[in-house]
Chain A
Amino acid sequence: MIDKHEGYGRVKLIVLVILLFISFTMMGFSQKNVTLSFKSLIYAVIYPFHYAGVKSITSVKEFITSIKKNKELKGELKSAREMLEVYERKIDEYEKLKKENERLRSLLGIQSHIEYETVVAEVIAKSPQDYYKTIIVNRGKNSGIQKYMPVIAYQDNKQCLVGKIIDVQRYSSRIQPIIDQSNYTGAMLKDSRYSGILVGQSPISPYCLLQYIDKSAEISYGDEVITSGMGGVYPKGILIGTVVSVSKKRYGIFQEAFVKPTIDFGRLEDVYIITKKTSKEEK
């Protein structure tokens, strides 16, 4: 006869085996549609709570920061007003130069600057697990977002690459940033025009690795790296980062360079999802 204690012990083990089996099966089917639909379904339920929770913690943090920064802001406001006057004059100059540039480009038959149609999205959360670098934004299918759309952001007056959309829900999307080790980006050195493939590094590394660069390329510290447009996901010419070190091995035909992304992912608040290239670029 099985006593009550032994029966309880058996239940624990049976539940353990069942739960491990479910987890194991999910891992096996992780990239298949069946679990992706399951993920979407569960995330749709979790999303409102997750969003509300993240928002409240962020608001508390922002409130505390805002009190501290109040004094700094007053000083900054004064200098910003002075700067504004300078910039207003520069804008006038810029407009003149832009017109001249367009006129000269049309004379030379060169295509105009790439411009994109974008959707602005707010960063609402990041992966709770450090070994994934994914970022969640508050725009989804209802805003016309689709998988593999490129994502850019502006920081310190620079337009830089953030990553690409890898998962779209109704009201949210997940971005795989360029620093994620599963992310591969077609990239090139801005000045020398040598191209390679940019990959994310280990979960704690803030750098990316630019691989497969021709060994004959002269690379130096501070060289800018931009998207090459190869692979079809990212438009050509978006700033990725700068070279911080070069690794040239004695063997092989390629060299590698560590690239520091221009974007500071810790300060990322708003991003621009490129939904469409302009008709000029499509031509």
Chain B
Amino acid sequence: MKRYALYTILLAFSIVFQSTFLYDSIKINGISADFIFLMVMSISFFLGPLEGEIIGFISGLIADIISGGLLGLSSFTYTLLGYGAGYFGKRIYSNYYIISIFVIFISTFLKAIIMSIMGAVFIKPGYFGFFTDGRIFLEAILNSVLAPLFFLIVSKIEEKLTG
């Protein structure tokens, strides 16, 4: 129970932080790391696929509701990626921090691909423009740079909770 309360607080903080204008001030060329995505992925990686998909679904749904965009888009994407991270994480036993860089880098592109497809189906083709303006490359780099920090936080929490 303590575990879920802690992760709820961390996820809520990520969502709230990204809703403030303070988040805009840490952008590079108008792009910043996606804290919600990083938090979902790191928690899912350590907890497993079932928890990952549920956490991804709830976080994505809340982000969709607050942003007022296409409802279900982030929940769909984060459910899939949360499941994937959980599935992958249960098969890795060492070198979390180095692996996190690759996992997050690839997952950022997967996120953009899933969102682009769903955006094309439900809004219009090229709506999000992840690949046309090349911003996904910078986002992937920023996410990857921060990934070890997020994985470190979650791994420390897990270490403490499991003793």
Contacts and interface: CB of A to CB of B under 8 A. Distances in A.
Interface of A: 8, 11-12, 15-16, 19-20, 22-28, 30, 35, 38-39, 42-43, 46, 49-50, 53-54, 57-58, 61, 123, 125-132, 134, 136, 166-167, 174, 181, 202-206, 266, 268
B83 A16 contact: yes
A83 B86 CA distance: 62
B54 to A, nearest CB: 7
B57 A50 contact: no
Chain B interface extent, by class? 35 or more
B79 A16 contact: yes
Contacts of A20: 76, 79-80
Given A53-B16, A204-B29, A204-B30, A39 B65 contact: yes
B128 interface: yes
Nearest to A41: B65
A174 B19 CA distance: 13
B133 interface: yes
Nearest to B83: A16
Given A181-B127, A204-B29, A204-B135, A129 B53 contact: no
A26 B75 contact: yes
Contacts of A166: 68
Given A23-B61, A43-B65, A126-B24, 11 more contacts: A15-B53, A20-B76, A22-B72, A23-B73, A27-B70, A35-B71, A53-B19, A129-B36, A132-B68, A136-B66, A202-B133
A30 B68 CA distance: 10
A49 B18 CA distance: 14
B20 A125 contact: yes
B53 A16 contact: yes
Given A54-B20, A57-B16, A57-B20, A128 B68 contact: no
A25 B83 contact: no
A131 B19 contact: no
A192 B144 CA distance: 50
B65 to A, nearest CB: 5
Contacts of B19: 50, 53-54, 125-128, 136
Contact of A126 (B20, B75, B133): B20
B73 A134 contact: no
A30 B50 contact: no
Contacts of A49: 12
Given A19-B54, A202-B133, A204-B133, A129 B63 contact: yes
B113 interface: no
- 8 tightest A-B contacts by CB? A26-B72, A53-B16, A23-B76, A127-B67, A128-B18, A204-B30, A27-B72, A125-B19
Interface in B53-111: 53-54, 57, 60-63, 65-76, 79-80, 83
A127 B79 contact: no
Contacts of A11: 50
Contact of A27 (B62, B118, B132): B118
B21 A128 contact: no
Contacts of B65: 39, 42-43, 46
A26 B57 CA distance: 12
Given A53-B13, A125-B66, A30 B74 contact: no
Nearest to B36: A128
A107 B64 CA distance: 55
B148 interface: no
B32 interface: yes
Given A23-B79, A49-B12, A203-B128, A15 B54 contact: yes
Contacts of B32: 130
Contacts of B80: 16, 20
Contacts of B29: 204
B67 A134 contact: yes
Contacts of A53: 12-13, 16, 19
A35 to B, nearest CB: 5
Contact of A206 (B30, B63, B72, B75): B30
